[in-house]
Structure 1
Amino acid sequence: MLSTTPSLRALVLSLIVAMASSASGQSPPDPSDIGGAAPSADSSDDLLNLDLEQLSNTSVSVAVESFDETVTSVTRQESTVGMSPAAVYVITNDMIRRSGVRSIPEALRLVPGVNVAKIDSNKWAISIRGFNDQYTNKLLVQIDGRSVYSPLFGGVYWDVQDLLLEDVERIEVVRGPGATVWGSNAVNGVINVITKQAADTTGAYAIAGGGTYEEGFAGARLGGVTADGDLHWRAWGKWFERDYGYRPDVFVNDEWSQGRGGFRMDWTPTRSDTFTFQGDYYEQVYSDAIAFGPTVVPNRDSTTSGGNLLARWSRQTSDDSGWSVQFYWDRTNRLDLYAHQQIDTLDFDFQHNYRWGDWQSMVWGVGYREISDKLLSPPGSTTSYQPPTLSYGLPSAFAQNQTELAEDRLFLTLGVKLEDNYFSGVQVQPSVRLLLAIDQQRALWGAVSRAVRTPTRSEDAVTVSLPSLVFTGNRDLKAEDLMAYELGYRAQPTEYLSWDAAAFYNVYDNLINSTFTTFPTAATYASTGNGHGYGLELTGKLQMAPNWKISGNYSFLRLDVDTEPLASLSGTRSEQGSPRNQALLWSSWDLAEDWELDVITRYVDSLPALDVDSNVALDLRVGWRPNDVLECAVVAQNLLDSTHREFIGQQGTTLPTERRRGVYGSIQWRW
């Protein structure tokens, strides 16, 4: 805080101690009972004169924990939600457990401003702040620092982004641009899945269960530590099988089964150094169908496999500085109706953070990504790529500096990212962020950012030959451009209540659309679209009683997209393919010492362009934890109707099925 008298600082410290004690269910202690005397002026100074990094790691009020949750995705440095100049939300491991979700996409339904729509049994459309589709390309997704968007089309294959959920520490979701530190495709948001360190997963864990839609699943993990205590490790595996969705007009077999396993090792040979080595491998079989107008093409038993390895070395050179270097390799093998894909990605990333002077904190880094693909057309396919094999690189560099303009009150963050993309050349992505810490319970922030979505291999080189239409790629596409203006306010008026509001206005240029070159026989991609979007996102958490918490969120979105007349269908899908209103209410009770009850209600607005009605979904979980070893749960999902449609893809993509009501049970062991 700004300068205060010693007596006032002592009073503030006493209030903080009282708030923390009340949050834990204990009576506030008398100051004389703390170390045998009232807090001294020096002890008050120690707390109130902490620098930004120390203050961000100091818990002030713990009854409503959202302000103190750790985040790293906003600035690439560890901070908290309360001290982040961005719209950020954290899904904790306990939220994943108590919600009863069985996949990362389903967990993302908990986040304000994120639209999660199930297309069929094994595919989702997921977006932030609009432009939702099966292959949303304005959203960057990472798992432990490894980018998982497909360089083929810029979207994410959500069916293969899976983990043993018990090992997920948190999922950080940044709504709004993150391109200054993460690069292209971090346009409307960043999702960063962070797993637990190996030291936090020693011992054994197992889970098994099944039900109606979740026909069967099982997982196990074993972790340990070497005799000297320097090396922690874990190995894990999981399997599941899920039933098909529902269509009233035709049966579509979209069943899905997958098995995967992985490992992680964390070695700390010195107090300053940490080495991480991890990886995983998966195989799956899934079914679906493709619709070309009235024609339905079955595509049964498609196969996918892949794996990755990641190595990271981090060194803390002092209390205020450190660096890390990371390498990863990722391979995807995917055989479907359109192509046999084999894509290899090699990525190098270096980052250095340090403080200089009394008011400055800098983080900078360089990176290089090499992508090699082989895209072969299966027999009978109407799709081809020219050339069928290609290797290309992506060099990049970034720098971001935070200046403390007023001590512990006002922070200015300036940053820029430079990338040289194979498809659209050099891109510059700057941002300006300002945060005003009004006090420890209130913060106001604003940001202006530029981000780009670069053209993809598919948009550059695809050819689709149909009897009445030939669709070709375009090698002269520009990068899609976003200028984003954001304003946010978060407050914790009492230790039991917190809320967060974020408003945004986005201006888009050079949007890539499908357009006819010769109507109606020839079409291509063109960078002719533009538009704007604006919206509001609200989040709140209220501790009603020591054993009862209510949380909820609401989001509003409006998009207006202009395209050429022959590309009007693309604009309509962009405008009306994302719901205007979404809301969630979650009531979480601890019924007794060993019983839990969670009720989650969600509302999603209609999608007129896709002929999808609004829907209200109700999920319920009852859990029993008689001891630290055993946990049993029964989860019922989509209770209010037997089926409902959530999304419809474009022509030539997956034939959608409706989401079904489901019930499953599970048993977990930890020892």
Structure 2
Amino acid sequence: MNKQILMAGVAAGLALAASAAQAQSVDYGSLQQLFDEPVTTSATGSPQRSTEAPADMQIISQDEIRRSGETSIPGILQRVAGIDVLNFSVGQSDVNVRGYDQISSPRLLVLINGRQVYLDHYGLTIWQTLPVQLSEIRQIEVVKGPNSALFGFNAVSGVINIITFNPKFDDLDVASVRVGDHGFRDYSLATTFKLGEAISARVSGGSRQQDEWARTGPLPLASDVTDPNTVQAAIDVVAQLNPKTDLRVEGSWSSSHQDGLAVNTYTTDKMITTSIKATLTADTDFGLIQVQGYQNGLTAKYPFALWNNTITVFSAQDLFKIGADNTIRLGAEYRHNTLNTAPLTGGEVSYDVYSASGMWNWAITEQLTTTAALRVDSLKLKREGTFPNRIPLDDNSNWDRTITKPSVNLTAAWRPTANDTFRLSYAQGVQTPSLIELGGVQLASTPFPGFTIDIMGNPNLKPSIVSNYELAYDRQFSAAKIGVRLFEQDWKDIKSGTDTSGLVLPPTATHNAAIYYINASDSKMKGLELTASGSFLPGFNWRADTTYTDVKDSPFAGVNVTKKYVAFQSTTPKFRGNIGLDWTKGPWEADANLHYVSEFKFYSMAAVTLEPVKAYASLSARLGYRWDNGLALALSGQNLLKERQEQTRGLEAERRVQVSLSKSW
């Protein structure tokens, strides 16, 4: 009888939460208490457990972030099943989902509260630029596979959705200082406050600096590396305009200086980002209507070029129910993206994207739910300005082009019992070329007197299309939980890097020879992911995962995938995984995580060749103590097994240890 009463209470609670999702801002804290675990509303707009969402998702909570002792978001993501993190330097990591590992990974959509924070000029994420402190992150949602139809433009291999504490519902006041060896210094502050009864705000800021990993060979050159540092600031204001309408305004700024690995050469780069965003949410008779606009600015200073990128996005959506079982979301979006040409200046490349989307979530029975989502993006490319002397394609009309492609997500989730969940899904995503690939780069090289090669963008580059098929199963036991994922991906028209060893266009009487990005290959990937977690003895929890991937490249005629930097069959490890343990007892808490990666190959620093990276394991750990007055002291470290370890073909990862002191009030 008690079990029946409990199940009835949970069912009533879920119905109440689904109704509450139609309110203005989402109170994740209350939803987490109701579900007794972190909850997502990102995929459908209604609260769901991660195992019930129409996407393969894992949620990392604030408690897990704190206990990990990691100093960066890539370090935290490395603990997630199926996530590959390439650590090229202490200042640069690239995050990939289930393989297809490469420098400046362009396939991952990264969001903070629904605003994209990957950098549009290259379509990459430089994690140091993200204007968010680890202490103000409520949860990180890690979504695997193409999910453009559910999450937005260019979400082709996955989504990292960072959700911060909402000042309307959350009382957050924390200051922290972390110092360590190798010059590590990290200071951060995040605080919320009220401005009357209707306005709530959160401000945050931080700075970090540390010594770069030591050089152990002739490459990279000493002049190519620097000690990274970053400064960030953000503000988040929520105003309740009336009982059914909220206005949320967010602004941020960051300045970061770090090493970047571009192709097979390290460079010292500086990135300055700005953003302003406003979101109006109203609960109306026609559903939950949300109107949003934001503008991101980027100044990217490379040793060889200076790019200024501005993206402006406006969107509107309506989330409503038809009866009790059907949830519908309709949306439209417009984005304008511009980039100057560099290092040879004189032009501007831009595109306008018009998008329409729809999502239908149907609870057929209490056990069976389906979700269908469709998004269509129509991109209109444009170029204005002048051209360098003798550069090929020197007519702006070559950029008069429109690309229209659909993205699809289809999912069926079945819960035959309260402890078992099956999910079958199909997804198709579209990876649009970046503005640099489409023409933002203009660089002249003179290998010998009298002969010039132009390295340039390609306005005729096709988007890459990925299709993903997945079967997932999750089982909850009394003291443990297991998960199984079977998946297969099919990539079409993968885009290359720039290969300086061979010409794409030969010289003519009026134009130089040229090298540019091309569609180089198709590829297929299949894989298996296993996860398990549980508890034993009071206060002890354990977790383990392993992911197997097998990639097969199909290069186009005449293409050398190694020289084009798309040799994913070689650069993707077969296995990666984690074994972790955490413990809490009163004010004490401890965490340890062993991350392992099987042997793979990566690009040499000396030439465009692939060289093996031996299988390795790395250990991170933290021991902390918290007093009742809000003070907390912790000792943490990363790469603890060895003083120095080869994890890519770049700089070797070093053992780092830190002590942190934080105060909450």
1:110 maps onto 2:79 in alignment: yes
The separation in 2 between residues aligned to 1:599 and 1:346, in whole angstroms, is 42
1:193-212 deviations in whole A, cap 9, x for unaligned?
11110145546421112111
Q: Cα distance, 1:465 vs. partner?
A: 3.0
Specify which of 465, 474, 482 is matched with residue 458 of structure 2: 474
The separation in 2 between residues aligned to 1:44 and 1:187, in whole angstroms, is 39
1:290 and 1:162, CA in 2 relative to 1: closer, same or farther beyond 3 A?
A: same
1:595 aligns to what? 588
The separation in 1 between residues aligned to 2:166 and 2:340, in whole angstroms, is 35
1:134 maps onto 2:64 in alignment: no
The separation in 1 between residues aligned to 2:616 and 2:576, in whole angstroms, is 10
Q: Cα distance, 1:472 vs. partner?
A: 3.3
Specify which of 324, 337, 340 is matched with residue 374 of structure 1: 340
Q: Cα distance, 1:392 vs. partner?
A: 2.5
CA contact (8 A) 1:81 1:89 kept: yes
The separation in 2 between residues aligned to 1:348 and 1:335, in whole angstroms, is 28
CA contact (8 A) 2:131 2:252 kept: no
The separation in 1 between residues aligned to 2:153 and 2:380, in whole angstroms, is 12
1:281 and 1:572, CA in 2 relative to 1: closer, same or farther beyond 3 A?
A: closer
1:453-468 matches, within 5 Å, as 453-461=431-439, 462-468=441-447
The separation in 2 between residues aligned to 1:303 and 1:45, in whole angstroms, is 51
CA contact (8 A) 1:268 1:274 kept: yes
1:250-649 matches, within 5 Å, as 250=218, 252=222, 253-287=225-259, 299-300=267-268, 302-317=269-284, 321-377=287-343, 384=344, 388-405=347-364, 407-423=365-381, 425-461=403-439, 462-468=441-447, 470-494=454-478, 496-514=479-497, 516-517=502-503, 522-564=514-556, 565-569=558-562, 570=564, 573-590=567-584, 592-610=585-603, 611-648=612-649
Specify which of 661, 664, 670 is matched with residue 664 of structure 2: 670
CA contact (8 A) 1:510 1:529 kept: yes
Q: CA RMSD in A?
A: 2.9
Secondary structure of the 2:102 match is coil
CA contact (8 A) 2:65 2:134 kept: yes
The separation in 2 between residues aligned to 1:436 and 1:55, in whole angstroms, is 24
CA contact (8 A) 1:214 1:662 kept: no
1:3-18 matches, within 5 Å, as 10=1, 12-14=3-5
After TM superposition, the structure 1 stretch with the greater mean CA deviation from structure 2, 50-59 or 483-492, is 50-59
The separation in 1 between residues aligned to 2:326 and 2:332, in whole angstroms, is 20
1:43-58 matches, within 5 Å, as 47=12, 50=15, 53=18
1:159-204 deviations in whole A, cap 9, x for unaligned?
2124111110101011111111233421111111111101455464
CA contact (8 A) 1:67 1:80 kept: no
The separation in 2 between residues aligned to 1:186 and 1:327, in whole angstroms, is 19
Kindly provide the amino acid, as one letter, of the partner of residue 101 in structure 2.
Answer: N
After TM superposition, the structure 1 stretch with the greater mean CA deviation from structure 2, 415-424 or 637-646, is 415-424
1:47 and 1:55, CA in 2 relative to 1: closer, same or farther beyond 3 A?
A: farther
TM-score by structure 1 length? 0.85
Kindly provide the amino acid, as one letter, of the partner of residue 417 in structure 1.
Answer: R
The separation in 2 between residues aligned to 1:152 and 1:575, in whole angstroms, is 27
Kindly provide the amino acid, as one letter, of the partner of residue 432 in structure 2.
Answer: T
Q: Cα distance, 1:485 vs. partner?
A: 0.8
CA contact (8 A) 1:584 1:601 kept: yes
1:58 and 1:350, CA in 2 relative to 1: closer, same or farther beyond 3 A?
A: closer
2:393 aligns to what? none
Aligned residue pairs total: 610
1:185-204 matches, within 5 Å, as 185-202=154-171, 204=173
The separation in 2 between residues aligned to 1:510 and 1:288, in whole angstroms, is 26
Kindly provide the amino acid, as one letter, of the partner of residue 216 in structure 1.
Answer: R
Secondary structure of the 1:79 match is coil
Secondary structure of the 2:370 match is strand
1:657 maps onto 2:651 in alignment: yes
Q: Cα distance, 1:51 vs. partner?
A: 8.4
2:209 aligns to what? 241
1:65 and 1:464, CA in 2 relative to 1: closer, same or farther beyond 3 A?
A: farther
1:609 and 1:579, CA in 2 relative to 1: closer, same or farther beyond 3 A?
A: same
1:519-562 deviations in whole A, cap 9, x for unaligned?
99753322241121011122222021331111122111111111
Q: Which runs of 5+ in 1 are unaligned?
A: 1-9, 17-42, 378-383, 649-655
The separation in 1 between residues aligned to 2:10 and 2:115, in whole angstroms, is 41
1:51 and 1:280, CA in 2 relative to 1: closer, same or farther beyond 3 A?
A: closer
Identity of aligned residues (%): 20
Kindly provide the amino acid, as one letter, of the partner of residue 255 in structure 1.
Answer: D
Q: Cα distance, 1:505 vs. partner?
A: 0.6
CA contact (8 A) 1:353 1:364 kept: yes
CA contact (8 A) 2:579 2:593 kept: yes
The separation in 2 between residues aligned to 1:390 and 1:264, in whole angstroms, is 32
